[in-house]
Amino acid sequence: MAGGTAGTVYKHSSSSEFRNLDLLRAIAVLSVFLGHLLLFLIKLDLLSVSRPEVWDISLNYLGHVGVLFFFVHTALVLMLSLDRTKPVGLVLNFYLRRIFRIYPLCIACIIGVLLLKIPQTPDRTYVPWYGSEILANVLLVQNIFRKPDILTTLWTLPREVQMYVALPFLYLLLKRISSSVAVLLIWLVFFAAVPSTPLLSCFPCFMGGLFAYQLGKERVFRLPSGVWPAAIFGLAAFGLALSVTILPDYRADFVLCMLIGLVIPNVVDLDQSWITKASRSVAKYSYGIYLFHFPVIWFAFIQLKPFPVAVRWATLVLLMVLVPVGAYRWIESPLIERGRRLADLWSATFARFRTEHGRVLQARGSQLAE
């Protein structure tokens, strides 16, 4: 057993430098992509399997567990990001950065779907959308107003945005009550509230990231790095077993996410290797992979149906590389940087205002004293 703090357990606190988190995010997005790809190949009779009902359950779970990994990863990385944010104007600084991170590429994806008439899932046909449905998807509030997702995979993004609203306040709370027990209590509150408040249905999953963050600041066991890949797949299998036995609903997801959060800070970071380098690349472009994999599958296997199978597979591979990379370079990265600059400008402006306001109050206090 060894002691640890946030500075030691998360020695490199950004996801691009913390190799264990890179691997988790890469496995998450590849699980979603492969689960959906194989599922639709079976539905489109492009892949023959025995007992398709078993494959349907397994592949749906593969995509679902990838989303759960995303939730835990995102919450943890954002808590670490808040650690690096200047405390002056922290909440609005955080919101500005997240708006420029999540909305631009999502809006670009929605515009592409509407222009190319891409269906919700590759095996369906396109149906026109009402203006209210488009607006709800653009603003990422479709779950609040009970509007359908223009792409089925967009269901996760409103939940993520709603987590953004609460996260800086949870962060500030943990700065005052720095305890993993406090995180567990908050998790239990969300756990209990979900049946009567569906809007909070994913909050207990995000709490796995807060649990990992807080445990990273406390004394933890340090397991060898080789445990990490085995733990990811082992916990995924355990979550499946849990969901089909004693917790056959969303509660299995909540437990799985907390277990992932328990393991993350207790494992030594992976050594540099070709696997970690590949994971870092996949993690870098993961948002584009997640958003665009349905349209790419649809284009490759539906729109190119008259073409030979080899052409369709080559198109899939090529577009699954070019589209996320291009989206990152031309949309994500420039607008992330714009958001960072605006957030820093806000923090600097707020700091100056607070300093000047403090001087005014001090001067008035001096005059009253005289």
Over the stretch 198-222, which tens digit does the pLDDT of each residue have? 889 999 999 999 999 999 998 777 8
Write down the pLDDT at residue 291.
Answer: 98
Write down the pLDDT at residue 8.
Answer: 46
Whole-angstrom CA distances from 142 to 147, 161, 201, 202, 290 are: 5, 11, 14, 15, 18
Nearest to 285 by CA among 66, 17, 29: 29
Is 29 a member of any domain?
yes
**Cβ–Cβ under 8 Å, residues 146 and 88:** no
Q: In angstroms, rounded to a whole number, what is the distance separating the alpha carbons of residues 176 and 145?
A: 35
> How large is the average pLDDT for residues 184-198?
91
Name beta bridge partners: 267.
223
Name the token pair of 310.
């080899």
Name the token pair of 164.
């953004």
Among the residue ranges 32-36, 193-197, 324-328, the one predicted with the least confidence is 193-197
> How large is the average pLDDT for residues 4-19?
52
> How large is the average pLDDT for residues 273-277?
96
Among the residue ranges 120-124, 126-130, 340-344, 353-357, the one predicted with the least confidence is 353-357
Task: Return the axis-axis angle of helices 90-116 and 286-298, rounded to nearest 10°.
Answer: 10
Write down the pLDDT at residue 2.
Answer: 39
Q: In angstroms, rounded to a whole number, what is the distance separating the alpha carbons of residues 138 and 188?
A: 32
Is 273 a member of any domain?
yes
Q: What percent of the chain has pLDDT over 70?
A: 91
Q: Decide: pTM greater than 0.75.
A: yes
Write down the pLDDT at residue 195.
Answer: 86
Is 183 a member of any domain?
no
**What residues make up the domain containing 310?**
6-103+204-369
Q: To the nearest whole number, what is the mean pLDDT of the chain?
A: 91
Is 16 a member of any domain?
yes
| Length of the chain measured in residues | 370
> Quick one: 29 exposed, middle or buried, by C-beta within 10 A (0-12, 13-18, 19+)?
buried
Whole-angstrom CA distances from 230 to 24, 63, 252 are: 11, 18, 20
Q: In angstroms, rounded to a whole number, what is the distance separating the alpha carbons of residues 229 and 141?
A: 35
Q: Please report the sign of the dihedral spanned by the C-alpha atoms of residue 113, residue 117, residue 120, residue 122.
A: negative
**Cβ–Cβ under 8 Å, residues 240 and 194:** no
274 against 47, higher pLDDT: 274
Is 110 a member of any domain?
no
Task: Return the axis-axis angle of helices 156-176 and 90-116, rounded to nearest 10°.
Answer: 170
pLDDT value at 9 more than 70: no
Write down the pLDDT at residue 366.
Answer: 56
Is 114 a member of any domain?
no
Whole-angstrom CA distances from 285 to 119, 156, 303, 329, 333 are: 23, 17, 25, 10, 10
Q: What is the pLDDT of residues 356-368, one digit of tens each?
A: 755 655 656 555 5
Is 69 a member of any domain?
yes
Q: What is the pLDDT of residues 68-89, one digit of tens each?
A: 999 999 999 999 999 999 888 8
Among the residue ranges 138-152, 161-175, 236-250, 314-328, the one predicted with the least confidence is 236-250
Whole-angstrom CA distances from 118 to 39, 138, 301, 331 are: 18, 16, 13, 21
pLDDT value at 339 more than 50: yes
Among the residue ranges 28-32, 114-118, 194-198, 227-231, the one predicted with the least confidence is 194-198
Is 279 a member of any domain?
yes
Write down the pLDDT at residue 318.
Answer: 98
Q: How many domains are contained in the chain?
A: 1
- To which residue do tokens 């031309």 refer? 330
Q: What is the dihedral of CA 149, 152, 155, 157, to 10 degrees?
A: -90
Q: Please report the sign of the dihedral spanned by the C-alpha atoms of residue 182, residue 188, residue 193, residue 194.
A: positive
> How large is the average pLDDT for residues 323-336?
98
> How large is the average pLDDT for residues 324-346?
97
Q: What is the pLDDT of residues 14-50, one digit of tens each?
A: 444 589 999 999 999 999 999 999 999 998 888 888 8
339 against 86, higher pLDDT: 339
- Give the number of other Cβ atoms within 10 Å of residue 177's Cβ: 12
pLDDT value at 94 more than 50: yes
Q: In angstroms, rounded to a whole number, what is the distance separating the alpha carbons of residues 242 and 260?
A: 14
Mapping DSSP onto H, E and C, the string for 103-145 reads HHHHHHHHHHHHHHCCCCCCCCCCCCCCHHHHHHHHHCCCCCC
> How large is the average pLDDT for residues 58-71?
96
pLDDT value at 233 more than 60: yes
